[in-house]
């Protein structure tokens, strides 16, 4: 939202989609049955992110959300090591800080920008005002899921596309 926009409940799912998309995983500690936290956990799951949950007392209404997520397949989490173990298994390597050279200018960054521009053109060619599934976009463009999600996030932030239930998108 533009600077100065007053916070409104309807803005949170959109913001949280971006946050969960940037994360490797989401940890749910407390959440009532109809909590915005559960919306974020669902969005993370739809984006292929790992969902972690800390089990709570069945007598505490704020534990209903994490307990339900665990029943649905979220990773039961008792310590930070549980999270690091899962993320290390997912990546096939030890989790550490990003390498600094990935964020500096130079030929690597210019090559990546060129790739993103090419991917953006391919995706825009396949989009219309009729919603299409992201899986279909990946198939049609023959781009990696990461490339498609990166471009779609850029287009969403630029308010050029709209996201729909069922992991579908269209031009605004």
Per-residue pLDDT tens for 21-76? 899 899 999 999 888 899 999 999 999 899 999 999 999 999 999 999 999 999 99
Residue 106 has pLDDT above 60, yes or no: no
Residue 148's Cβ-count burial label (10 Å; 0-12, 13-18, 19+) is buried
148 within a domain of the structure (yes/no): yes
Residue 77's Cβ-count burial label (10 Å; 0-12, 13-18, 19+) is buried
Based on the domain organization, do 72 and 141 belong to the same domain? no
Specify the pLDDT at position 94.
Answer: 53
Structural domain range at position 126: 100-171
- State the pLDDT confidence band at 105, using cuts at 50, 70 and 90: very low
Specify the pLDDT at position 109.
Answer: 44
Give me 170's structure tokens. 């269209």
CA distances from 152 to 60, 63, 156, 160 (A): 39, 34, 6, 9
Average pLDDT, the chain: 85
Taking the complete model, does pTM exceed 0.75, yes or no? no
% of the chain at pLDDT higher than 70? 86
CA distances from 165 to 16, 68, 132 (A): 15, 21, 11
Residue 93 has pLDDT above 70, yes or no: no
> What total of structural domains would you count in the chain?
2
Whichever domain contains 131, its CATH number is: 1.10.10.10
Specify the pLDDT at position 169.
Answer: 95
Based on the domain organization, do 60 and 35 belong to the same domain? yes
Whichever domain contains 87, its CATH number is: 3.40.50.450
Based on the domain organization, do 18 and 79 belong to the same domain? yes
Specify the pLDDT at position 112.
Answer: 63
3 within a domain of the structure (yes/no): no
């Amino acid at each position: 939202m533009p600077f100065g926009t007053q916070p409104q409940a309807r803005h949170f799912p959109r913001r949280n989609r971006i946050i969960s998309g940037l994360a490797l995983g989401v940890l749910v500690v407390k959440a009532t049955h109809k909590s915005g936290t559960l919306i974020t956990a669902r969005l993370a799951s739809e984006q292929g992110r790992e969902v972690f949950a800390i089990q709570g007392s069945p007598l505490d209404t704020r534990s209903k959300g994490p307990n339900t997520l665990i029943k649905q397949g979220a990773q039961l989490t008792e310590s930070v090591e549980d999270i690091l173990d899962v993320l290390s298994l997912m990546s096939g390597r030890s989790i550490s800080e990003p390498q600094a050279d990935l964020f500096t200018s130079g030929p690597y960054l210019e090559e990546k920008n060129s790739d993103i521009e090419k991917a953006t053109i391919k995706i825009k060619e396949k989009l219309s005002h009729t919603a299409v599934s992201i899986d279909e976009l990946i198939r049609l463009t023959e781009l990696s899921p990461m490339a498609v999600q990166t471009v779609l996030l850029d287009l969403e932030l630029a308010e050029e596309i709209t996201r729909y239930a069922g992991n579908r998108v269209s031009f605004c």
